[in-house]
């Protein structure tokens, strides 16, 4: 897996097979956040519980996405282990 391409290579998957499901999770997170932001635009004030729930999901999804990216980069050797 490279910094440019988030798709795991055959070698990546041979070493770390969990990268396949993490790539699928990342795509699901992106689709979810894009859809929620289209239905509940962030530039409008949050006035109802649906919009508040959507904003919460988008925030938590972004946190999860960053954790997934960090893990993928660690597996690719882009971050040193502590």
- pLDDT tens column, 5-63: 568 888 888 888 898 999 999 999 999 999 999 998 877 778 889 989 999 999 999 99
CB 81 within 8 A of CB 74: yes
pLDDT of residue 45: 79
Torsion sign (Cα): 20, 12, 70, 38? negative
The pTM assigned to this predicted structure is 0.74
CB 8 within 8 A of CB 1: yes
CB 61 within 8 A of CB 29: yes
């Amino acid at each position: 897996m490279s910094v440019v391409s988030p798709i795991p290579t055959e070698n990546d998957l041979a070493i770390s097979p969990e990268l396949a499901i993490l790539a699928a999770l990342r795509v699901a997170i992106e689709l979810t956040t894009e859809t929620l932001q289209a239905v509940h635009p962030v530039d409008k004030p949050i006035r109802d519980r649906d919009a508040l729930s959507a904003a919460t999901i988008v925030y938590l999804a972004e946190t999860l996405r960053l954790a997934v990216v960090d893990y993928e980069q660690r597996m690719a050797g882009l971050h040193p282990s502590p």
